């Protein structure tokens, strides 16, 4: 019987999911059984980055398959009218990752592509947080406490620190606050190091034509609040609603898209609706 081609954008019910490694054009699964005891969820916070996604999805899928990693690519697509909230999307991504059976996760910017095959996405072990896009190699950020871009840890460890703060609407500072959570929990933060490449050729930093970052003018009090350790919000109280789940295909790369509407407490973070300055 002749097989029907897969659609490029296929919805699946909210109560169901699609799990399993991608096969090649001949139906062979290119995954050594030695690494199948762990499953990685790649959590990508997303809004209006289709140009970057079209490059990212096939690239990261090929990169991970070469390392023999069983992975599930999750695109957390923010569809509400609030400002972008990367941390809350990652919190919802953890809940989705738990639902599909991943035991470790990597929070991954859609505009950052690993180029050096020496960079490992294999299971980091409990109690270890692995910063893949370390300050030594990230093409843009190099300050000592930087943990943004690509950060990997186990599902258990993310839960232990109560995930990320939900108060960071707009771009910036959510990673700095998460750094404090890692330190408070006594987790071992490790960095990618001793690569044969350098800052100019370890990662490709994409810059799409429509690329914008959500900056806004906020008051002095709001800036001070945002820089403090948040003991109130996190994984346990992220407010959201999932409106749909679907699969998008980029060649052989399957991207599991989760459309998310986030909730905002206007009394606590009124700046979630501030007009943005790009």
Tens digits of per-residue pLDDT, 236-275? 999 999 999 999 999 999 999 999 999 999 999 998 987 6
What mean pLDDT is predicted for residues 128-150? 93
CA–CA–CA angle 11, 16, 19 (5° rounding): 90
pLDDT-derived band at 26, boundaries 50, 70, 90: very low
CA distances from 150 to 18, 110, 141, 192, 253 (A): 24, 10, 12, 11, 19
Q: For residues 110 and 90, is the Cβ–Cβ distance under 8 A?
A: no
pLDDT attached to residue 276 = 56
Q: Is residue 59, in this structure, part of any structural domain at all?
A: yes
pLDDT attached to residue 223 = 64
Q: Is residue 192, in this structure, part of any structural domain at all?
A: yes
215 three-class SS: strand
Q: Is residue 8, in this structure, part of any structural domain at all?
A: no
pLDDT attached to residue 18 = 34
Q: Is residue 212, in this structure, part of any structural domain at all?
A: yes
Which one, of 164, 187, 158, 160, lies nearest residue 176 by Cα?
Answer: 164
CA distances from 9 to 3, 245, 255 (A): 18, 11, 9
Tens digits of per-residue pLDDT, 192-247? 999 999 999 999 998 755 555 555 555 565 566 656 899 999 999 999 999 999 99
What mean pLDDT is predicted for residues 128-154? 93
The gap from C-alpha 61 to its chain's centroid, in whole angstroms, comes to 14
67 three-class SS: coil
CA distances from 260 to 86, 169, 263, 268 (A): 12, 15, 10, 21
What CATH number does residue 120 fall under? Answer: 3.90.550.10
pTM, full prediction: 0.84
Instruction: Look at the chain and report how many structural domains it folds into.
Output: 1
Q: Is residue 20, in this structure, part of any structural domain at all?
A: no
Q: For residues 233 and 167, is the Cβ–Cβ distance under 8 A?
A: yes
Residue with tokens 């000592």: 144
Residue with tokens 């490992």: 120
pLDDT-derived band at 8, boundaries 50, 70, 90: very low
Q: Is residue 65, in this structure, part of any structural domain at all?
A: yes
Q: For residues 189 and 182, is the Cβ–Cβ distance under 8 A?
A: yes
The DSSP output letter for 35 is: G
CA distances from 231 to 86, 99, 145, 264 (A): 18, 26, 20, 17
Taking each helix axis as running N to C, give the angle between helix 174-184 and helix 86-99, from 0 to 180 degrees, rounded to the nearest 10. Answer: 60
pLDDT-derived band at 9, boundaries 50, 70, 90: low
Residues of the domain holding 196: 36-273
What mean pLDDT is predicted for residues 172-191? 94
Q: Is residue 240, in this structure, part of any structural domain at all?
A: yes
Please list the residues that pair with 254 across neighbouring strands: 249
DSSP one-letter string for 174-211: HHHHHHHHHHHTT-EEEE----SS-TTTSEEE---TT-
Q: Is residue 21, in this structure, part of any structural domain at all?
A: no
């Amino acid at each position: 019987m002749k097989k029907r081609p897969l659609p490029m954008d296929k919805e699946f019910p909210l109560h169901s999911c699609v799990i399993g490694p991608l096969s090649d054009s001949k139906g062979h699964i290119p995954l050594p059984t030695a690494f199948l005891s762990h499953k990685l969820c790649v959590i990508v916070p997303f809004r209006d980055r289709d140009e970057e996604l079209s490059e990212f999805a096939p690239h990261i899928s090929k990169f991970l398959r070469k390392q023999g990693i069983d992975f599930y690519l999750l695109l957390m697509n923010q569809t509400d009218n609030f400002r972008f909230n990367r941390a809350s999307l990652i919190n919802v991504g953890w809940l989705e990752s738990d639902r599909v059976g991943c035991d470790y996760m990597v929070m991954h910017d859609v505009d950052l592509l690993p180029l050096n095959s020496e960079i490992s996405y294999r299971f980091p072990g409990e109690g270890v947080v692995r910063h893949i896009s370390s300050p030594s190699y990230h093409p843009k950020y190099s300050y000592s406490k930087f943990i943004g871009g690509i950060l990997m840890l186990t599902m258990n460890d993310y839960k232990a620190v109560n995930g990320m703060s939900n108060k960071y609407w707009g771009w910036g500072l959510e990673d700095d606050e998460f750094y404090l959570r890692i330190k408070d929990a006594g987790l071992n933060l490790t960095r990618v190091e001793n690569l044969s490449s350098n800052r100019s050729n370890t990662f490709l930093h994409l810059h799409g034509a429509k690329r914008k970052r959500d900056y806004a003018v906020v008051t002095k009090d709001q800036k001070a609040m945002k820089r403090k350790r948040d003991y109130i919000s996190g994984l346990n109280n992220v407010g959201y609603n999932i409106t749909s789940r679907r699969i998008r295909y980029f060649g052989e790369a399957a991207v599991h898209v989760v459309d998310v509407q986030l909730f905002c407490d206007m009394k606590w973070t009124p700046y979630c609706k501030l007009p943005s300055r790009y």
